[in-house]
Structure 1
Amino acid sequence: MTAVDRLLAREPGPTPRADARRNLERLVVAARSAVAETGVNVTAQEVAQRAGVGKGTFYRRVPSLETLLQVVLEEVLDEAVAAADRALENPDPWRGFTEFAAAYVTLRKESCGVNEALGGAGSCDLERCLGDLRERLRELVGRAQDNGSMRADIPWEDVAFLLAGVATADRTIGLTAAPDQWHRNLRTVLDGLVARP
Protein backbone atom coordinates (compact mmCIF):
# COMPACT_ATOMS: atom_id res chain seq x y z
CA MET A 1 0.00 0.00 0.00
CA THR A 2 1.39 3.40 -0.93
CA ALA A 3 1.77 6.26 1.53
CA VAL A 4 -1.01 8.13 -0.28
CA ASP A 5 -3.37 5.16 0.03
CA ARG A 6 -2.51 4.87 3.73
CA LEU A 7 -3.32 8.55 4.26
CA LEU A 8 -6.60 8.23 2.39
CA ALA A 9 -7.54 5.11 4.37
CA ARG A 10 -7.13 7.04 7.63
CA GLU A 11 -9.96 9.37 6.67
CA PRO A 12 -12.80 7.33 5.20
CA GLY A 13 -15.26 9.24 3.11
CA PRO A 14 -15.87 10.18 -0.47
CA THR A 15 -13.10 9.62 -2.98
CA PRO A 16 -10.94 12.75 -3.01
CA ARG A 17 -10.81 14.95 -6.07
CA ALA A 18 -7.92 14.37 -8.46
CA ASP A 19 -6.20 17.60 -7.40
CA ALA A 20 -6.41 16.59 -3.72
CA ARG A 21 -4.77 13.25 -4.51
CA ARG A 22 -2.06 14.99 -6.53
CA ASN A 23 -1.37 17.27 -3.54
CA LEU A 24 -1.01 14.21 -1.31
CA GLU A 25 1.35 12.61 -3.82
CA ARG A 26 3.46 15.77 -3.91
CA LEU A 27 3.54 15.92 -0.11
CA VAL A 28 4.78 12.32 0.11
CA VAL A 29 7.53 12.93 -2.47
CA ALA A 30 8.49 16.16 -0.73
CA ALA A 31 8.63 14.48 2.68
CA ARG A 32 10.92 11.75 1.36
CA SER A 33 13.33 14.23 -0.23
CA ALA A 34 13.21 16.64 2.74
CA VAL A 35 14.11 13.92 5.22
CA ALA A 36 16.90 12.68 2.96
CA GLU A 37 18.42 16.17 2.81
CA THR A 38 17.42 17.71 6.15
CA GLY A 39 17.10 14.73 8.47
CA VAL A 40 15.49 15.10 11.87
CA ASN A 41 15.01 18.85 11.53
CA VAL A 42 12.43 18.55 8.75
CA THR A 43 9.33 20.71 9.29
CA ALA A 44 5.81 20.74 7.90
CA GLN A 45 6.55 24.15 6.38
CA GLU A 46 9.55 22.79 4.48
CA VAL A 47 7.60 19.79 3.21
CA ALA A 48 4.75 22.06 2.06
CA GLN A 49 7.18 24.38 0.27
CA ARG A 50 8.90 21.49 -1.51
CA ALA A 51 5.49 20.15 -2.53
CA GLY A 52 4.45 23.53 -3.88
CA VAL A 53 1.44 23.82 -1.56
CA GLY A 54 0.58 26.11 1.30
CA LYS A 55 0.73 25.12 4.94
CA GLY A 56 -3.08 25.19 5.05
CA THR A 57 -3.25 22.64 2.24
CA PHE A 58 -0.69 20.52 4.09
CA TYR A 59 -2.92 20.32 7.18
CA ARG A 60 -6.11 19.82 5.14
CA ARG A 61 -4.53 16.78 3.50
CA VAL A 62 -2.39 15.44 6.37
CA PRO A 63 -3.30 15.42 10.08
CA SER A 64 0.31 16.05 11.17
CA LEU A 65 3.91 15.86 10.06
CA GLU A 66 4.32 12.76 12.24
CA THR A 67 1.44 11.02 10.44
CA LEU A 68 2.97 11.85 7.06
CA LEU A 69 6.39 10.58 8.13
CA GLN A 70 4.86 7.39 9.57
CA VAL A 71 3.14 6.46 6.29
CA VAL A 72 6.28 7.39 4.34
CA LEU A 73 8.34 5.07 6.56
CA GLU A 74 5.88 2.23 6.00
CA GLU A 75 5.97 2.88 2.25
CA VAL A 76 9.78 2.74 2.17
CA LEU A 77 9.78 -0.53 4.12
CA ASP A 78 7.15 -1.97 1.78
CA GLU A 79 9.42 -1.05 -1.14
CA ALA A 80 12.23 -2.99 0.54
CA VAL A 81 9.93 -6.02 0.93
CA ALA A 82 8.94 -5.71 -2.74
CA ALA A 83 12.64 -5.60 -3.71
CA ALA A 84 13.17 -8.79 -1.71
CA ASP A 85 10.20 -10.46 -3.42
CA ARG A 86 11.68 -9.60 -6.83
CA ALA A 87 15.03 -10.99 -5.70
CA LEU A 88 13.40 -14.24 -4.57
CA GLU A 89 11.98 -14.66 -8.09
CA ASN A 90 15.46 -14.50 -9.61
CA PRO A 91 16.51 -18.04 -10.60
CA ASP A 92 20.09 -17.22 -9.59
CA PRO A 93 20.06 -16.96 -5.76
CA TRP A 94 23.33 -15.00 -5.54
CA ARG A 95 22.32 -12.51 -8.22
CA GLY A 96 18.93 -12.11 -6.55
CA PHE A 97 20.60 -11.48 -3.20
CA THR A 98 23.05 -8.90 -4.60
CA GLU A 99 20.23 -7.04 -6.39
CA PHE A 100 18.25 -6.96 -3.15
CA ALA A 101 21.32 -5.83 -1.18
CA ALA A 102 21.81 -2.77 -3.42
CA ALA A 103 18.12 -1.81 -3.23
CA TYR A 104 17.99 -2.46 0.50
CA VAL A 105 20.98 -0.26 1.33
CA THR A 106 19.49 2.76 -0.43
CA LEU A 107 16.03 2.22 1.07
CA ARG A 108 17.44 1.53 4.53
CA LYS A 109 19.26 4.84 4.58
CA GLU A 110 16.01 6.57 3.70
CA SER A 111 13.93 4.61 6.21
CA CYS A 112 16.41 5.28 9.01
CA GLY A 113 16.27 9.00 8.27
CA VAL A 114 12.48 8.99 8.45
CA ASN A 115 12.46 6.87 11.61
CA GLU A 116 14.98 9.23 13.21
CA ALA A 117 12.80 12.21 12.28
CA LEU A 118 9.90 10.41 13.98
CA GLY A 119 11.99 9.95 17.11
CA GLY A 120 11.91 6.17 16.71
CA ALA A 121 8.13 5.98 17.26
CA GLY A 122 6.66 2.91 15.59
CA SER A 123 3.26 1.50 14.74
CA CYS A 124 1.68 -1.92 14.41
CA ASP A 125 2.03 -1.73 10.63
CA LEU A 126 5.69 -0.86 11.04
CA GLU A 127 6.23 -4.06 13.02
CA ARG A 128 4.48 -6.03 10.26
CA CYS A 129 6.73 -4.43 7.63
CA LEU A 130 9.87 -5.21 9.62
CA GLY A 131 8.74 -8.80 10.21
CA ASP A 132 8.09 -9.26 6.49
CA LEU A 133 11.51 -7.85 5.69
CA ARG A 134 13.26 -10.13 8.20
CA GLU A 135 11.51 -13.19 6.73
CA ARG A 136 12.50 -12.24 3.16
CA LEU A 137 16.12 -11.64 4.13
CA ARG A 138 16.26 -15.03 5.89
CA GLU A 139 14.91 -16.66 2.70
CA LEU A 140 17.34 -14.82 0.43
CA VAL A 141 20.35 -15.78 2.53
CA GLY A 142 19.10 -19.36 2.87
CA ARG A 143 18.68 -19.75 -0.91
CA ALA A 144 22.16 -18.39 -1.62
CA GLN A 145 23.73 -20.60 1.05
CA ASP A 146 21.79 -23.68 -0.07
CA ASN A 147 23.05 -23.35 -3.64
CA GLY A 148 26.62 -22.76 -2.45
CA SER A 149 27.01 -19.20 -3.69
CA MET A 150 27.13 -17.61 -0.21
CA ARG A 151 29.33 -18.66 2.68
CA ALA A 152 27.39 -21.07 4.89
CA ASP A 153 29.16 -20.05 8.11
CA ILE A 154 27.42 -16.66 8.34
CA PRO A 155 24.00 -16.50 10.05
CA TRP A 156 21.34 -14.53 8.18
CA GLU A 157 21.06 -12.16 11.16
CA ASP A 158 24.71 -11.18 10.69
CA VAL A 159 23.97 -10.37 7.05
CA ALA A 160 21.33 -7.87 8.22
CA PHE A 161 23.95 -6.04 10.29
CA LEU A 162 26.53 -6.18 7.51
CA LEU A 163 24.11 -4.57 5.07
CA ALA A 164 23.14 -1.98 7.68
CA GLY A 165 26.79 -0.96 7.96
CA VAL A 166 27.19 -0.31 4.24
CA ALA A 167 25.54 3.12 4.23
CA THR A 168 27.99 5.44 5.92
CA ALA A 169 28.04 8.94 7.29
CA ASP A 170 29.42 11.67 5.07
CA ARG A 171 32.55 11.94 7.19
CA THR A 172 34.70 9.82 9.48
CA ILE A 173 38.07 10.48 11.18
CA GLY A 174 38.53 13.60 9.07
CA LEU A 175 37.86 11.79 5.77
CA THR A 176 35.05 12.68 3.40
CA ALA A 177 33.06 9.84 1.84
CA ALA A 178 33.25 9.48 -1.92
CA PRO A 179 29.98 10.00 -3.83
CA ASP A 180 29.86 6.26 -4.54
CA GLN A 181 31.10 5.25 -1.08
CA TRP A 182 28.15 2.99 -0.31
CA HIS A 183 28.68 1.13 -3.62
CA ARG A 184 32.29 0.52 -2.69
CA ASN A 185 31.33 -0.60 0.81
CA LEU A 186 28.71 -2.95 -0.60
CA ARG A 187 31.20 -4.52 -3.02
CA THR A 188 33.53 -5.21 -0.09
CA VAL A 189 30.74 -6.76 2.00
CA LEU A 190 29.53 -8.92 -0.90
CA ASP A 191 33.11 -10.02 -1.57
CA GLY A 192 33.26 -11.20 2.04
CA LEU A 193 29.96 -13.08 1.76
CA VAL A 194 30.53 -14.91 -1.51
CA ALA A 195 31.53 -18.55 -1.21
CA ARG A 196 35.01 -19.38 -2.46
CA PRO A 197 35.56 -22.52 -4.54
Structure 2
Amino acid sequence: MTGSAVDALLAQGDPQPRADARRNVERLVAAARKALDELGLAVTTRDVAQRAGVGLGTLYRRVPSLDALLAAILADTIDEMTERAKQAARSPATSQAFMAFAETYVQLRASSCGLHDALSNRGSRLDLAPQINRLQRAMRTLVQHAQEAGVIRADLDWRDVPFALATAIPANHTIGLAPRSDQWQRNLRIILNGLRPGPALAPAPGGLAAAPD
Protein backbone atom coordinates (compact mmCIF):
# COMPACT_ATOMS: atom_id res chain seq x y z
CA MET A 1 0.00 0.00 0.00
CA THR A 2 2.95 2.34 0.60
CA GLY A 3 3.64 2.64 -3.14
CA SER A 4 0.21 4.13 -3.86
CA ALA A 5 0.70 6.81 -1.19
CA VAL A 6 4.17 7.62 -2.55
CA ASP A 7 2.84 7.95 -6.11
CA ALA A 8 -0.03 10.16 -4.93
CA LEU A 9 2.38 12.53 -3.16
CA LEU A 10 4.84 12.62 -6.03
CA ALA A 11 1.99 13.46 -8.42
CA GLN A 12 1.41 16.65 -6.41
CA GLY A 13 4.99 17.80 -6.99
CA ASP A 14 7.59 17.25 -9.70
CA PRO A 15 6.05 15.00 -12.41
CA GLN A 16 9.51 13.50 -13.06
CA PRO A 17 11.16 13.28 -9.63
CA ARG A 18 14.79 12.26 -9.24
CA ALA A 19 15.53 8.87 -7.72
CA ASP A 20 16.74 10.46 -4.48
CA ALA A 21 13.53 12.47 -4.22
CA ARG A 22 11.46 9.31 -4.52
CA ARG A 23 13.58 7.57 -1.90
CA ASN A 24 13.03 10.46 0.50
CA VAL A 25 9.27 10.37 -0.05
CA GLU A 26 9.27 6.60 0.50
CA ARG A 27 11.12 7.10 3.80
CA LEU A 28 8.71 9.84 4.86
CA VAL A 29 5.68 7.72 4.02
CA ALA A 30 7.03 4.71 5.92
CA ALA A 31 7.89 6.88 8.93
CA ALA A 32 4.54 8.69 8.87
CA ARG A 33 2.67 5.38 8.67
CA LYS A 34 4.39 4.14 11.83
CA ALA A 35 3.84 7.45 13.60
CA LEU A 36 0.15 7.39 12.63
CA ASP A 37 -0.20 3.87 13.98
CA GLU A 38 1.29 4.84 17.33
CA LEU A 39 0.21 8.47 17.80
CA GLY A 40 -2.87 8.88 15.64
CA LEU A 41 -3.63 12.28 14.15
CA ALA A 42 -1.66 14.00 16.92
CA VAL A 43 1.51 13.20 14.94
CA THR A 44 3.70 16.21 14.09
CA THR A 45 6.12 17.02 11.29
CA ARG A 46 8.99 16.66 13.76
CA ASP A 47 7.81 13.13 14.66
CA VAL A 48 7.82 12.12 11.01
CA ALA A 49 11.12 13.76 10.10
CA GLN A 50 12.94 12.22 13.07
CA ARG A 51 11.60 8.75 12.31
CA ALA A 52 12.55 9.13 8.63
CA GLY A 53 16.04 10.37 9.49
CA VAL A 54 15.65 13.57 7.46
CA GLY A 55 15.54 17.24 8.30
CA LEU A 56 12.37 19.30 8.41
CA GLY A 57 13.57 21.13 5.31
CA THR A 58 13.62 17.87 3.34
CA LEU A 59 10.12 17.00 4.57
CA TYR A 60 8.72 20.37 3.47
CA ARG A 61 10.43 20.09 0.06
CA ARG A 62 9.18 16.58 -0.62
CA VAL A 63 5.54 16.69 0.56
CA PRO A 64 3.01 19.52 0.18
CA SER A 65 2.08 19.48 3.89
CA LEU A 66 1.78 17.16 6.87
CA ASP A 67 -1.96 16.83 6.23
CA ALA A 68 -1.32 15.87 2.59
CA LEU A 69 1.14 13.21 3.76
CA LEU A 70 -1.25 11.76 6.36
CA ALA A 71 -4.22 11.92 3.99
CA ALA A 72 -2.33 10.04 1.26
CA ILE A 73 -1.44 7.24 3.68
CA LEU A 74 -4.92 6.95 5.18
CA ALA A 75 -6.62 7.16 1.77
CA ASP A 76 -4.40 4.28 0.62
CA THR A 77 -5.42 2.15 3.61
CA ILE A 78 -9.13 2.97 3.32
CA ASP A 79 -9.08 2.18 -0.40
CA GLU A 80 -7.51 -1.20 0.38
CA MET A 81 -10.22 -1.86 2.96
CA THR A 82 -12.88 -0.90 0.41
CA GLU A 83 -11.45 -3.31 -2.15
CA ARG A 84 -11.47 -6.11 0.42
CA ALA A 85 -15.16 -5.42 1.15
CA LYS A 86 -15.94 -5.57 -2.58
CA GLN A 87 -14.05 -8.83 -2.96
CA ALA A 88 -15.90 -10.32 0.01
CA ALA A 89 -19.25 -9.32 -1.49
CA ARG A 90 -18.34 -11.11 -4.73
CA SER A 91 -17.12 -14.28 -3.04
CA PRO A 92 -19.35 -17.38 -3.32
CA ALA A 93 -18.16 -18.40 0.17
CA THR A 94 -20.20 -15.66 1.80
CA SER A 95 -19.79 -16.67 5.43
CA GLN A 96 -16.02 -17.10 5.30
CA ALA A 97 -15.58 -13.96 3.20
CA PHE A 98 -17.65 -11.81 5.55
CA MET A 99 -15.79 -13.07 8.63
CA ALA A 100 -12.42 -12.56 6.94
CA PHE A 101 -13.35 -8.99 6.04
CA ALA A 102 -14.62 -8.31 9.57
CA GLU A 103 -11.33 -9.55 11.05
CA THR A 104 -9.26 -7.43 8.67
CA TYR A 105 -11.43 -4.36 9.32
CA VAL A 106 -11.11 -4.63 13.09
CA GLN A 107 -7.44 -5.58 13.00
CA LEU A 108 -6.52 -2.55 10.90
CA ARG A 109 -8.45 -0.21 13.19
CA ALA A 110 -6.99 -1.82 16.30
CA SER A 111 -3.40 -1.60 15.01
CA SER A 112 -3.53 1.99 13.72
CA CYS A 113 -4.57 4.90 15.93
CA GLY A 114 -4.56 7.12 12.85
CA LEU A 115 -6.97 4.94 10.90
CA HIS A 116 -9.21 4.59 13.95
CA ASP A 117 -9.23 8.38 14.34
CA ALA A 118 -10.03 8.92 10.66
CA LEU A 119 -12.90 6.42 10.59
CA SER A 120 -14.24 7.81 13.88
CA ASN A 121 -14.55 11.23 12.21
CA ARG A 122 -11.70 12.71 14.25
CA GLY A 123 -9.82 13.34 11.02
CA SER A 124 -12.16 15.99 9.61
CA ARG A 125 -9.22 18.28 8.76
CA LEU A 126 -8.11 15.68 6.22
CA ASP A 127 -9.91 15.34 2.90
CA LEU A 128 -10.97 11.69 3.22
CA ALA A 129 -14.70 12.02 2.53
CA PRO A 130 -14.52 10.42 -0.97
CA GLN A 131 -12.64 7.38 0.34
CA ILE A 132 -14.91 6.98 3.37
CA ASN A 133 -18.03 7.29 1.20
CA ARG A 134 -16.75 4.52 -1.08
CA LEU A 135 -16.05 2.34 1.96
CA GLN A 136 -19.58 2.94 3.24
CA ARG A 137 -21.09 1.85 -0.07
CA ALA A 138 -18.91 -1.26 -0.21
CA MET A 139 -19.78 -2.23 3.36
CA ARG A 140 -23.49 -1.70 2.72
CA THR A 141 -23.32 -3.99 -0.31
CA LEU A 142 -21.39 -6.61 1.67
CA VAL A 143 -23.80 -6.58 4.61
CA GLN A 144 -26.86 -6.79 2.38
CA HIS A 145 -25.27 -9.66 0.43
CA ALA A 146 -24.54 -11.49 3.68
CA GLN A 147 -28.12 -10.92 4.84
CA GLU A 148 -29.54 -12.28 1.59
CA ALA A 149 -27.31 -15.34 1.96
CA GLY A 150 -28.57 -15.91 5.50
CA VAL A 151 -25.14 -15.37 7.01
CA ILE A 152 -26.09 -12.50 9.30
CA ARG A 153 -29.47 -11.61 10.74
CA ALA A 154 -31.92 -9.86 8.45
CA ASP A 155 -33.41 -7.58 11.11
CA LEU A 156 -30.28 -5.42 11.28
CA ASP A 157 -29.81 -2.11 9.55
CA TRP A 158 -26.57 -2.36 7.55
CA ARG A 159 -25.17 0.54 9.60
CA ASP A 160 -25.42 -1.55 12.75
CA VAL A 161 -22.59 -3.73 11.49
CA PRO A 162 -19.74 -1.16 11.23
CA PHE A 163 -20.76 0.23 14.62
CA ALA A 164 -20.75 -3.26 16.12
CA LEU A 165 -17.38 -4.12 14.60
CA ALA A 166 -15.85 -0.88 15.90
CA THR A 167 -16.76 -1.88 19.47
CA ALA A 168 -14.43 -4.90 19.22
CA ILE A 169 -11.47 -2.56 19.79
CA PRO A 170 -10.90 -2.54 23.55
CA ALA A 171 -10.23 0.46 25.74
CA ASN A 172 -6.92 0.58 27.59
CA HIS A 173 -8.68 -0.41 30.80
CA THR A 174 -12.17 -1.15 32.05
CA ILE A 175 -13.21 -1.60 35.71
CA GLY A 176 -9.54 -1.82 36.56
CA LEU A 177 -8.82 -4.62 34.07
CA ALA A 178 -6.20 -4.46 31.35
CA PRO A 179 -7.12 -6.02 27.98
CA ARG A 180 -5.45 -9.21 26.85
CA SER A 181 -3.15 -9.07 23.85
CA ASP A 182 -5.86 -10.84 21.80
CA GLN A 183 -8.76 -8.91 23.32
CA TRP A 184 -9.96 -7.47 20.02
CA GLN A 185 -10.13 -10.99 18.57
CA ARG A 186 -12.10 -12.27 21.57
CA ASN A 187 -14.48 -9.30 21.29
CA LEU A 188 -14.87 -9.87 17.57
CA ARG A 189 -15.86 -13.52 18.07
CA ILE A 190 -18.60 -12.42 20.48
CA ILE A 191 -19.85 -9.82 18.00
CA LEU A 192 -19.83 -12.18 15.02
CA ASN A 193 -21.80 -14.75 17.03
CA GLY A 194 -24.34 -12.05 17.81
CA LEU A 195 -24.69 -11.13 14.13
CA ARG A 196 -25.69 -14.65 13.14
CA PRO A 197 -29.39 -15.28 12.41
CA GLY A 198 -31.53 -15.96 15.47
CA PRO A 199 -34.70 -14.75 17.19
CA ALA A 200 -35.81 -11.26 16.25
CA LEU A 201 -34.17 -8.47 18.21
CA ALA A 202 -36.24 -6.80 20.91
CA PRO A 203 -37.27 -3.18 20.23
CA ALA A 204 -34.81 -0.54 21.36
CA PRO A 205 -35.48 0.99 24.81
CA GLY A 206 -37.96 3.84 24.64
CA GLY A 207 -39.46 2.57 21.38
CA LEU A 208 -36.87 4.29 19.21
CA ALA A 209 -37.75 4.12 15.53
CA ALA A 210 -35.52 2.30 13.10
CA ALA A 211 -32.94 4.42 11.31
CA PRO A 212 -34.04 5.70 7.89
CA ASP A 213 -32.30 4.46 4.77
Same fold (TM over 0.5): yes
In the alignment, structure 2 segments of 5+ residues that lack a partner are 200-213
Return the letter of the residue paired with 1:100. F
Kindly report which structure 2 residues correspond to 1:135-150, keeping only aligned pairs within 5 A, or say none: 135-150=137-152
TM-score (norm 1): 0.88
Contact 2:5 2:76 in 1 (8 A): yes
Residue aligning to 2:22? 21
In the alignment, structure 1 segments of 5+ residues that lack a partner are none
CA RMSD of aligned residues (A): 2.3
1:121 aligns with 2:125: yes
Secondary structure at the aligned position of 1:171 is classed as: coil
The CA deviation string for residues 117-165 of structure 1, in whole angstroms up to 9 with x for no partner, is 9753142xx2221111111111111111111121111111101110111
The CA deviation string for residues 25-58 of structure 1, in whole angstroms up to 9 with x for no partner, is 2211211211221234322122112122222211
Kindly report which structure 2 residues correspond to 1:54-93, keeping only aligned pairs within 5 A, or say none: 54-93=55-94
Change (3 A) 1:43 1:117: farther
Kindly report which structure 2 residues correspond to 1:1-197, keeping only aligned pairs within 5 A, or say none: 2-11=4-13, 13-109=14-110, 110=112, 111-113=115-117, 120-123=124-127, 126-196=128-198
Contact 1:41 1:117 in 2 (8 A): no
Aligned length: 194
Contact 1:62 1:68 in 2 (8 A): yes
Return the letter of the residue paired with 1:3. A
C-alpha distance in 1, partners of 2:70/2:93? 36
C-alpha distance in 1, partners of 2:74/2:33? 9
C-alpha distance in 2, partners of 1:79/1:22? 23
Which stretch of the first structure deviates more once superposed, 40-49 or 92-101? 40-49
C-alpha distance in 1, partners of 2:64/2:124? 19
* Identity within the alignment, %: 48
Superposed structure 1 runs of 4+ greater than 3 Å apart:
113-119
Q: Identify the structure with the greater helix proportion.
A: 1
C-alpha distance in 2, partners of 1:149/1:119? 33
TM-score (norm 2): 0.81
C-alpha distance in 1, partners of 2:30/2:88? 25
